[in-house]
Chains A and B, each alone.
Chain A
């Protein structure tokens, strides 16, 4: 019987539930899709390292999913409270008919359960289908080939989605039971008659608050533009807090301020329904300014994440070119012969090698030559994070002949240094503009360097072509020196770089597999020799993985934020539609015709949706500018395309919620006419 009533209730109010139901379904769908990424490798031919990267992405997605589930949990509880409030009178009638509170609560639980099961089912179904499409995107991001179509289904993601949303729905059931038990029957019965009291605000305070909010936001902008966002420090935290406070104050005072502003122009204020629309928005924002501020900040995050997150990709893409000049590089501590060393361990590297160069990285003993030698001359330009640490670290030396051999292997012309000449080498500079500027400035000034009491001129070209294939770090700063100079220096590191024989890609993959199995059995080697080995394929898949990670993360969090904000706005407007219905009815009675009423309703909802978005856009302009500056240091990015993509995405999703809200409100308001 209960179930029947619950089912009937849902069917009856299906139109009111539609938006809620669709949002839930969409959320479940997104949740499943982004947790099912690992399963997608079934469709791709993928290397060991790429597979490991996918696993990392899945783990990170898992962590983010916890955060996402909190946001969605908040949304669902919030939405459910709205729906309960809307049905107060209905519950009141059940209770006057003799239904106990406990039973009413049970009815609600049954309804929540039904809605939950329906949306979970629909969302999972949509998610399973959508994840098929997402694998094409994954394959593209990883730059791997699709092996052909396989139906992808991730049991892990499936179960996880059910558990997470199951818990959320349990919480919702609990919350609604609690809220029902708190209501008094008289309030339930009279729910429709209660008029919201208009909070009165002192206009002077409103104006002061508004000015204060603009000042807060302006200061935050100014500070963040000046300081940038490269490092998360106290300053940045302060800027974020200042900006947030400014946003809250802005919405707390905006409508009052705006009202006063328009009221001062009586001709405009007393025209058509302007007065009514303004008052409507004013009364709404006065009570909902906190949620609107939160929505504004979430939208700001959405815009920021989507437009810069995808931008980060291009930067990452550029940097990996410099990290993988050869197929494979082995690095080991001290002066060793790497091939012989491995032969000693029983592993023959030479069978993979086509052409190779082994070279040493030297440093002056007793730390006589530090990077400070160069950096202190251009101290103002040295990137801030380098100043403290790198001044004292040794300045590495590479022999001119080694360098030329390395360049030859890449098919690049080397450099011929005279006996009293050195050259500056930094592969970091290729992707790190600030470092590059600093070093170029140094070269410009024609400084000389004294090594072992001998003065050397510095060659005026900055050498930046990579010499090691490595995913993490190349050589930040070194000197290419005449061969003779290194006599008496200590060998810091030996590096073997080579290209593979046969089909270079498959040899790399084979070496990767063999090496992995070998080192798995001989773990001590890594500790003994300080071995770092990487192939170009590894570097590529790590770069691709980072790219995919950033993209997925951006879209995942961005979409969740976007639908949450839009859904909350929509629910607020819809729940208010009942109150609005009486107001619009009065307008009809005093002779406002339908077109006037429709346009008033449209304007009211449009302004309500646009306000948080507008401030979020202004925030984003500043945010994207700073983020862009930060990312630029790691390589240029193309922001415009991302902004356009973001704008389209927001317009579609946010716009759909807006239109759905408008048409539903219109339906609720005009229904009363018949």
Chain B
């Protein structure tokens, strides 16, 4: 059955490529992640493989405990895989040392978290510019880039505010600005709408969509919310540490895509063995 699913995945890839050759940004190959010891082993990720091309907006969906956050943590180099390889722009991050990992995170990855993870002591502007100052970018250039990104995300007028003075949506867009400021190869978003009300969530998603379309940013987003997922161009469903299904938006409208997602989610909720 696993083989069957893998072949479906492969097939879908070809469709997605649509004949145009795109650069592969992320390639996850046969990764496994075990927790616990011999006596009590939990497979959080079980032989997961997929890839993400440049300019894609990929969602990972699954119930809580399905392994989606573990997957994101492995991709984001915060956690280490038990076996398998992860390539980002053809660099194998599972083989990297911690020092170069920090540098890699700084240059190739951008993060957006559920609880924003902004530094409460810094203003919005300072939060966004921080990755650049760490990388040693000249402050003039850095400031220009901050203003540029802030403009795209419509947060120019809250730049001088501290996080606690902003609304949830503004905070999350500030976090998104910080994630994109270094022009990373891949933006990783972990439940970015989890702590937002529906209006803010919609604004944030539109911003992400905008980044994806206008700046050709590659985004990998973990969510369990169907509405949030409907902004993606492709969705991977995870269950019990394995990739269970894949949906591609293709030419369908967001509404159609949304109902397709709902179908799969319903399926996921039931006993998969009975359905398949």
Is A671's beta carbon under 8 Å from chain B? no
Partner-binding segment picked from B46-54, B101-109, B196-204, B244-252 = B101-109
* Prevailing SS type, chain B contact patch: helix
Whole-angstrom distance between the alpha carbons of A197 and B178 in the complex? 21
What count of chain A residues pass the 8 Å CB interface test? 32
29 interchain pairs, CB-CB under 8 A: A196-B120, A197-B164, A266-B139, A270-B132, A270-B142, A271-B133, A274-B133, A275-B126, A275-B129, A276-B119, A276-B130, A280-B121, A282-B121, A283-B121, A582-B117, A583-B120, A587-B130, A587-B134, A589-B105, A589-B111, A589-B113, A589-B117, A590-B131, A590-B178, A591-B102, A591-B135, A592-B106, A595-B99, A596-B134
Is B87's beta carbon under 8 Å from chain A? no
Whole-angstrom distance between the alpha carbons of A155 and B258 in the complex? 83
Q: Which of A198, A275, A593 contacts B130 (CB 8 A)?
A: A275
- Let me know if B122 and A275 touch, CB within 8 A: yes
Is B36's beta carbon under 8 Å from chain A? no
Closest to A198 in B: B162
Q: Which of B99, B134, B142, B163 contacts A590 (CB 8 A)?
A: B134
Most B CB within 10 A of own CB, among A197, A272, A586: A586
Residues of A within 8 Å of B118, CB to CB, are 586
Most B CB within 10 A of own CB, among A269, A271, A587, A589: A589
Is A405's beta carbon under 8 Å from chain B? no
Q: How large is the interface on B (under 10, 10 to 19, 20 to 34, 35 or more residues)?
A: 35 or more
- Let me know if A273 and B134 touch, CB within 8 A: yes
Whole-angstrom distance between the alpha carbons of A266 and B120 in the complex? 21
- Let me know if A279 and B98 touch, CB within 8 A: no
Q: How many residue pairs at the A-B interface have CB separations less than 8 Å?
A: 92
Interface pairs A-B: 7 shortest CB-CB: A591-B106, A593-B102, A270-B139, A591-B105, A279-B121, A283-B121, A195-B120
- Let me know if B134 and A272 touch, CB within 8 A: yes
With contacts A198-B164, A273-B134 taken as known, whether A590 is within 8 angstroms of B139 at the C-beta atoms is no
- Let me know if A272 and B136 touch, CB within 8 A: yes
Segment 347-389 of A: residues with Cβ below 8 Å from B? none
Whole-angstrom distance between the alpha carbons of A282 and B126 in the complex? 14
Other than the known A276-B122, A276-B130, A279-B119, what 8 A-B pairs have Cβ atoms closer than 8 Å?
Answer: A198-B162, A272-B133, A275-B122, A276-B121, A586-B119, A588-B102, A591-B131, A591-B135
- Let me know if B117 and A586 touch, CB within 8 A: yes
Closest to A583 in B: B119
Residues of A within 8 Å of B99, CB to CB, are 593-595
Is B96's beta carbon under 8 Å from chain A? no
Is A234's beta carbon under 8 Å from chain B? no
Is A445's beta carbon under 8 Å from chain B? no
Whole-angstrom distance between the alpha carbons of A324 and B276 in the complex? 111
Whole-angstrom distance between the alpha carbons of A280 and B119 in the complex? 10
Whole-angstrom distance between the alpha carbons of A275 and B131 in the complex? 11
Whole-angstrom distance between the alpha carbons of A283 and B98 in the complex? 30
Is B8's beta carbon under 8 Å from chain A? no
- Let me know if B134 and A195 touch, CB within 8 A: no
Residues of B within 8 Å of A591, CB to CB, are 102-107, 109, 131, 134-135
* Prevailing SS type, chain A contact patch: helix
A491 to chain B, nearest CB (A): 82
Q: Which of A269, A273, A589, A595 contacts B78 (CB 8 A)?
A: A589
Is A267's beta carbon under 8 Å from chain B? yes
Closest to A267 in B: B139
Whole-angstrom distance between the alpha carbons of A596 and B103 in the complex? 11
A199 to chain B, nearest CB (A): 10
Segment 586-623 of A: residues with Cβ below 8 Å from B? 586-596
Residues of A within 8 Å of B134, CB to CB, are 272-273, 587, 590-592, 596
B138-149 vs A, CB cutoff 8 Å, 1 = contact: the mask equals 010011000000
Whole-angstrom distance between the alpha carbons of A156 and B122 in the complex? 56
Whole-angstrom distance between the alpha carbons of A590 and B131 in the complex? 6
- Let me know if B121 and A270 touch, CB within 8 A: no
Closest to A273 in B: B134
Residues of A within 8 Å of B106, CB to CB, are 590-592
Whole-angstrom distance between the alpha carbons of A3 and B126 in the complex? 49
- Let me know if B98 and A594 touch, CB within 8 A: yes
Most B CB within 10 A of own CB, among A279, A587, A591: A591
Closest to A279 in B: B121
B146 to chain A, nearest CB (A): 10
A280 to chain B, nearest CB (A): 6
A223 to chain B, nearest CB (A): 39
Segment 130-177 of A: residues with Cβ below 8 Å from B? none
Whole-angstrom distance between the alpha carbons of A272 and B139 in the complex? 11
Whole-angstrom distance between the alpha carbons of A362 and B104 in the complex? 97
Residues of B within 8 Å of A593, CB to CB, are 98-99, 102-103
Residues of A within 8 Å of B121, CB to CB, are 198, 276, 279-280, 282-283, 583
Segment 173-225 of A: residues with Cβ below 8 Å from B? 195-198, 200
Whole-angstrom distance between the alpha carbons of A590 and B99 in the complex? 13
B162 to chain A, nearest CB (A): 5
Whole-angstrom distance between the alpha carbons of A586 and B128 in the complex? 12
A284 to chain B, nearest CB (A): 9
Most B CB within 10 A of own CB, among A197, A198, A272, A590: A590
Whole-angstrom distance between the alpha carbons of A276 and B122 in the complex? 7
Segment 284-311 of A: residues with Cβ below 8 Å from B? none
Whole-angstrom distance between the alpha carbons of A595 and B122 in the complex? 21
Whole-angstrom distance between the alpha carbons of A327 and B271 in the complex? 109
- Let me know if B126 and A279 touch, CB within 8 A: yes
Residues of A within 8 Å of B129, CB to CB, are 270, 275
Residues of B within 8 Å of A267, CB to CB, are 139
Whole-angstrom distance between the alpha carbons of A44 and B103 in the complex? 68
Residues of A within 8 Å of B136, CB to CB, are 271-272
Most A CB within 10 A of own CB, among B104, B134, B135: B134
Whole-angstrom distance between the alpha carbons of A309 and B130 in the complex? 50
B156-181 vs A, CB cutoff 8 Å, 1 = contact: the mask equals 00000011100000000000001000
Whole-angstrom distance between the alpha carbons of A282 and B106 in the complex? 26
Whole-angstrom distance between the alpha carbons of A589 and B131 in the complex? 10
A557-595 vs B, CB cutoff 8 Å, 1 = contact: the mask equals 000000000000000000000000011001111111111
Closest to B104 in A: A591
Residues of B within 8 Å of A596, CB to CB, are 102, 134
Closest to B188 in A: A589
Whole-angstrom distance between the alpha carbons of A272 and B118 in the complex? 17
Whole-angstrom distance between the alpha carbons of A18 and B15 in the complex? 63
Whole-angstrom distance between the alpha carbons of A375 and B78 in the complex? 85
Residues of A within 8 Å of B78, CB to CB, are 589
A613 to chain B, nearest CB (A): 24
Whole-angstrom distance between the alpha carbons of A541 and B78 in the complex? 71
Whole-angstrom distance between the alpha carbons of A240 and B120 in the complex? 38
Whole-angstrom distance between the alpha carbons of A583 and B119 in the complex? 6
A8 to chain B, nearest CB (A): 24
Whole-angstrom distance between the alpha carbons of A589 and B115 in the complex? 14
A624-638 vs B, CB cutoff 8 Å, 1 = contact: the mask equals 000000000000000
